[in-house]
Structure 1
Amino acid sequence: MADAPWLTIVGLGEDGPAGLSPASRETLDQAEIVMGPPRHLALLPELRAERIEWPVPFADGVARLLELRGRQVVMLASGDPFWFGAGSVIARHLERKDWCALPGVSVFSLAAARLGWPLETTVTLGLHAAPLTRLRPYLAAGQRVIVLVRDGAAVASLAESLVETGFGESTLHVCEALGGPRERLRICVAASLALDDISHPVCVGLEVAGDGLALPLTPGRPDMVFENDGQITRGPVRAMTLAALAPRPGDHLWDIGGGSGSVGIEWLLSHPSLGATTIEPRPDRAKRIRRNADQLGVDRLDIVQGFAPDALDNLQPPDAVFVGGGLSADMLTWLHTNLRDGTRLVANAVTLESESLLAQAQAQYGGNLLRVELAQAGSLGSKRGWKAAYPVVQWSVTL
């Protein structure tokens, strides 16, 4: 058939062909070329197909694969290619008619079956090619997580990270080569990990325990989790700001005048589909934002060092914009002129001059103007009293 796909992505487990469906075995028998990692190719019996080893780095293999267009090609991937696997990477480079997939049993399913954990309530993360810090938002006592990691050294790094964040009491179920003849499952505690012979491929079933700080699920997380130099939107105001920005699945945020990056980071923590770009003119603060984002598990935060509005040219168009610093009449005019209709804009002010700008903007463009005064109880001699913070004026509008 003219429209038949030339590429089939086959999920292969550690048991090799024994675990393949009849359709997958037939596809391999009829293939002209089989391309995959050496470990996967070694599991196959003799075939008529030419074998091509997938190179390192992975991206080089994508280019080689695309050169084979028009021939009957099988690409080997681990388990389910579309669950933290290579399938989605390949699909981005092809039209839908060019490929089909025959998934195998995922390592998450195998791990859950060994541990007796319900997958619907277990966090699953693929960190074999991503920073271990992406685990941070899920660290809370009692939480169960299944994590794919690169190798034995990564298991040791995972244990060290858990100790550093106060969760060294966590139990690690180290699962090696699940589903194959080399399968092994060992249990240890993060703080006393002493395994030096962990074999690839490996995943870890993590039962989180310890007295480390669990990040709340709602905005307004403690200021202490953000490294800052005093330039930070405080927790209660941050919660109010995120509510006004109203993140929705798939949205992208511009955080103008990032400071510590707290608003952009909290935006990203709201949902894994969200994106954000922080614009910060000071290099020291831009570096600090990078550290905060990485440590809190949202390394996908984009950081642009520069002054708005000049630094806003050619950025991904936003669905929402927060102006936390550098507020000016020129900036508000630029935003109103250049942003798409429907963009949500939120700006905070604490000085009389910036309050005046927001009052004028609200009169000109509409939206809501809100003034909030916060006070915190503190010592007043031998008694207690209220210590007031600067009032915050917030303007929010849908352009």
Structure 2
Amino acid sequence: MSPAPAAPAAPENLTVVGIGADGWDGLPAVSREALGAAEVLIGGARQLALLPGECAGERVPWPSPLRPAVPGLLAAYAGRRVCVLASGDPMFYGIGRTLTEVLAEQAAGGAPAAGLRILPHPSSVSHACARLGWPLEDTEVVTLVGRPAANLVRALYDGRRVLVLSAGARTPAEVAALLREHGFGPTRMRLLEQLGGPRERTAEGTAEGWDLPPGDPLNVLALDCRRAPGTPPLSTVPGLPDDAYEHDGQLTKRHVRAATLAALAPAPGELLWDIGGGSGSIAVEWLRAHRSCRAVSVERDPVRAERIGRNAHTLGVPALRVVTGAAPAALDGLPTPDAVFIGGGLTAPGLLEACWAALPPGGRIVANTVTLESEALLADWYRRHGGELVRLAVARAVPVGGFTGWRQAMPVTQWAAVKPLPASPSPTVPQETEQP
């Protein structure tokens, strides 16, 4: 057996120093000492410019894109004392996370933090909450640095306080436009620039009247969310109104959708395969369950696939990955799911088999159908693998002449199952033996 390739080298003495808009003057002694003793200083051009001449180490600006360059930079300066500069708290949407993840990959299960020292500084969020008098634990934080503004949508609720980490000087106007578009025009917006530094500045207005020109790129937005009259509220739990989605009729309806998400049981960090996505409602509401949830929606119709992407943006989960293609072939190469939902195409040859094989032990599968042919298929899988087989029926009150009666929707048959864990081997019971 050939030996495993050696992990890329990394500096044995690597320190990450958080620095604020107040620069060198705002650093504690321990951070100044680390920067003064460093042989190599890595950071953004703005951060490096904050250091005085007494920090004599070689100054290396981050290349772009940053993440792919990190292993090479660490290897290039192996054996030297390296300081990496970060804005504020390095472990709050900062370079600290990237470094720990890269070192963990290199350690291959070892101690990723060995040799890594992190010296944090108050984050812009801490500064903002201090200026505003907002309790940090009650404040929602959304970063738009390197992320689409649509991520903000799922944080918009009447009366909520939200801090937005801006991507640059144009972010405030972009956020104001998004708030107006989603019915939150009355929201009070406060712009906080260069927090903690000598050039700190604030400005405020409402989203519907926001007309300030672009200012300093280093800024945070504070939002006191206010919903405009007539704007329908969107719940945090599954079962959004059907008219929250753009669709052509291929939509898992509200009450069945809520029951389906309950059976799928999304949990933080988990990945869903949504097969036969239609309008994407199951994947969208899976993602809305927690910001770390992940989902892939597979839809064979290109028009519907584009519509799924639009629904994801509108409802604040633009990270939804949409794959255009027919399952099971379109499933090849997708990451292992924690749960699978099949909303269409059940009778496609090999689809159920492929989904069941892809699930790890403990993974969940939920399939819905309204046809007798697919119902028979689900009954067979229920017989073979257990789980739950239920029929969901919804009726709506509608006018009948001058009276009111019930109109029954097509009943939905749902099969839900958990893939069993491998059987544990029976423990060996020691046997007594006779002594000679």
TM-score normalised by structure 2 residue count? 0.87
| Conserved 8 A contact 1:4-1:97 | no
Q: Bigger CA drift: 6-15 or 89-98? A: 89-98
The corresponding residue for 1:148 is 165
Which among 186, 199, 206 is matched to residue 216 of structure 2?
Answer: 199
Q: In structure 2, do the counterparts of structure 1 residues 36 and 64 end up closer, same or farther at CA, with 3 Å as the change threshold?
A: farther
Q: Which amino acid aligns with 1:27?
A: A
The corresponding residue for 2:79 is 70
**What secondary structure is seen at the aligned counterpart in 2 of 1:92?**
helix
The corresponding residue for 1:249 is 268
The corresponding residue for 1:30 is 37
Matches within 5 A, 1:101-116: 101-116=118-133
**What secondary structure is seen at the aligned counterpart in 1 of 2:327?**
coil
| Conserved 8 A contact 1:137-1:214 | no
Measured after TM superposition, the shift of residue 341 of structure 1 is 2.3
**What secondary structure is seen at the aligned counterpart in 2 of 1:268?**
helix
| Conserved 8 A contact 2:18-2:87 | yes
Q: 1:327-362: per-residue Cα shift (whole Å, max 9, x none)?
A: 026322333344322221111110111111111211
Q: Which amino acid aligns with 2:142?
A: L
Q: Which amino acid aligns with 1:358?
A: L
The corresponding residue for 2:301 is 282
Q: Are residue 52 (structure 1) and residue 67 (structure 2) matched?
A: no
Q: Are residue 170 (structure 1) and residue 178 (structure 2) matched?
A: no
Q: Bigger CA drift: 331-340 or 321-330? A: 331-340
Q: Which amino acid aligns with 1:262?
A: S
| Conserved 8 A contact 2:11-2:81 | no
Measured after TM superposition, the shift of residue 309 of structure 1 is 1.4
Measured after TM superposition, the shift of residue 241 of structure 1 is 0.2
Matched residues in 2 for 1:101 and 1:87: separation?
8
Which among 367, 371, 383 is matched to residue 363 of structure 1?
Answer: 383
Matched residues in 2 for 1:234 and 1:397: separation?
21
Q: Which amino acid aligns with 1:359?
A: A
Q: Which amino acid aligns with 1:188?
A: G
Q: In structure 2, do the counterparts of structure 1 residues 146 and 337 end up closer, same or farther at CA, with 3 Å as the change threshold?
A: closer
Q: Count residues in correspondence.
A: 398
Q: Give % identity.
A: 46
Q: Which runs of 4+ in 1 moved over 4 A?
A: none
The corresponding residue for 2:96 is 87
Unaligned runs of 5+ in 2: 1-9, 104-111, 420-436
Unaligned runs of 5+ in 1: none
Q: Which amino acid aligns with 2:267?
A: R
Q: Which amino acid aligns with 2:353?
A: T
Measured after TM superposition, the shift of residue 52 of structure 1 is 1.7
Measured after TM superposition, the shift of residue 4 of structure 1 is 8.1
**What secondary structure is seen at the aligned counterpart in 2 of 1:393?**
strand
Matched residues in 2 for 1:12 and 1:174: separation?
21
Which among 311, 331, 336 is matched to residue 330 of structure 2?
Answer: 311
Question: Looking at CA atoms only, which structure, 1 or 2, has the larger radius of gyration?
Answer: 2
Q: Are residue 342 (structure 1) and residue 362 (structure 2) matched?
A: yes
The corresponding residue for 1:397 is 417
Matched residues in 1 for 2:218 and 2:292: separation?
28
TM-score normalised by structure 1 residue count? 0.95
Q: In structure 2, do the counterparts of structure 1 residues 367 and 208 end up closer, same or farther at CA, with 3 Å as the change threshold?
A: same
Alignment RMSD, CA only? 1.8
Q: Which amino acid aligns with 1:104?
A: H
